[in-house]
Structure 1
Amino acid sequence: MPLSGFMTQPAQAALAEKAQAPAFTAHGALDGKAISFSLQEALKKGPVVLYFFPAAFTPGCTLEAHAFADATDDFAKLKATVVGITAGNVDRVAAFSKEECRGKFAVLADPDAKVASLYKTSSTHGNFLLSDRTSYVIAPDGTILLAFTSSDPQAHVNRTMAAVTAWYALHS
C-alpha cells in the first residue's frame, strides 16, 4: 500500500530556530556506496542542510531529491553539505542515493525514526513511524539557522539555499 493510503497522525513541531541541533551518527549511502555520517564531523566543514523525507522512491521525495541534486554544487560553493534522511523504506537508501540523488549527496537511513524523533519531525502513518518533510540548516556551531516544514519539495531547496546564502554572506 502506498504511504498516502495510511492514516496520518499530526507531526510534532520541528525544533526551533536558534536551538542546538542534536548530535547524531547514522549509516546511509552516497552514490550507492555505504557510508557512516557524523553531524559533528560534517559541521567542521561548514553548514549542513539536513532534510528529512518520508520515503525513498515516492513521487514527492523523488522530486525533492532531484531538486537538491540539481542544487548541490551551489550549496558546495557556499561550503554547505546536503544530506537527506528517511525513516521510511530504509532498505532502499543505497539505490535512492545513486538513482534519484544522482550520487550528489548522502542519504541516511533512520530505522525506527530515532533521528527524526530527536529533531521532532516524525509522524505515525498506520503502524509506522516515519519522517516528515522537514529541512534544517545547521550552522557549524550546531545552531539551527532554519527549520522548515512543507509538502512542497522545491520550497525546501529554495528556503535552505536562502538560509545558507545568508549565513555565507556573514561568514565569508
Structure 2
Amino acid sequence: MYHKYAFRLLMIGLLSGLFKLQAMAQSTPLAKGDKAPLFTARACLAGKTFDFSLKNALEKGPVVLYFYPAAYTGGCDLEAHTFSELKDEFTKAGATIIGVSADDIARLKSFSADPDYCAGKFPVASDPDGKIAARYGLKLIPPQPGVKDVRGEPVTHGFIPRTTFVIDARGNIIAVFSSETDHISPDQHAKMSLAIVKKLHPHQS
C-alpha cells in the first residue's frame, strides 16, 4: 500500500508545476467568516450516483468541503485515502465530508468505490465547468496537455486548486486551507479539518 503512495506523491510536483502559479494568481478563495454558498451537484458514493445537497448536509451538522485537482493523481489519492481513514472520527464529530473536482461522473464512480482512495466512505461530486468552485472564489485551470493519471490515462478536464473549507452547521466558513498559499500537504487537509470539527463537538470526540 505505502509504496504506491510514495510513487504517486512524485506526481504532486508535476501537477504543482503545471498550475500552482496560475492558481495563486487567479484564485481568491472565500475567507473565514464568509457565508458558504449553497449548491447541489451530481456525486458518487461507493460507486453509486446521487444528488448531493450542501443545504441538506448542513442540517445534520458541520461540513468539510474540499476541492481537489483530479482523481487518480498522487496528492489527490493521498488526500482521499486520509479522509477515508479518518471518516469514522468525522462521523463521531457529526461532520459530513464532500470532495469536489472537475472529474466526470464515470471517473468518480470508480474513485469513490476504490478501497485505496475514497473506499466507499464519503462522496465526491463533479463540478466539470468549475461553477461551484467559482462561487467559492476558485478558478478552474484549463486542461493541461500531456497530463496522465496514475493509471496512465490522460486527464482531460481542468483543475481546481486544492482548497478545503470547513463550514459550521449555520453555513459559516470557519476555516480555509490552501495547498498553494498555506503550503500544506494533501493529507494535512484532512487532519487539520478533523481537529477543527472535533472542537465544535468536544463531547463527541
Would you say same fold, with TM above 0.5?
yes
2:194 maps to a residue whose letter is M
* 1:59 maps to 2:74: yes
Letter in 1 for 2:130: A
Residues 99-140 of structure 1 show CA distances to partners (whole Å, capped at 9, x for unaligned) of: 020000001000111111111123424566421111111111
After superposition, where does 1:1-172 map in structure 2 within 5 Å? Answer: 4=15, 7-8=18-19, 9-11=22-24, 12-99=27-114, 100-126=117-143, 129-150=158-179, 152-169=185-202
Deviation at 1:170, TM superposition (A): 8.7
3-state SS, counterpart of residue 165 of structure 2: strand
Amino acid at match of 2:177: F
Greater gyration radius: 2
Q: Is there any run of 5+ residues in structure 2 with no aligned partner, and where?
A: 1-10, 145-156
CA contact (8 A) 2:143 2:159 kept: no
- Aligned-residue sequence identity (percent) comes to 41
Change (3 A) 1:83 1:122: same
Matching residue's letter, 1:96? F
- Pairwise CA RMSD: 2.3
- SS of residue paired to 1:131: coil
- CA contact under 8 A between 1:90 and 1:110: conserved in structure 2? no
TM-score by length of 1: 0.90
The structure carrying a bigger strand percent of its residues is 1
Query: Aligned pair count?
Result: 171
Question: CA separation of 1:90/1:54 partners in 2, compared to 1, >3 Å: closer, same or farther?
Answer: farther
Name the amino acid aligned to 1:10. A
**Aligned partners of 2:120, 2:23: CA distance in 1, in Å?**
32
Counterpart-to-counterpart distance in 2, 1:14 and 1:56: 21
- AA matched with 1:156: H
| Structure with greater helix share of residues | 2
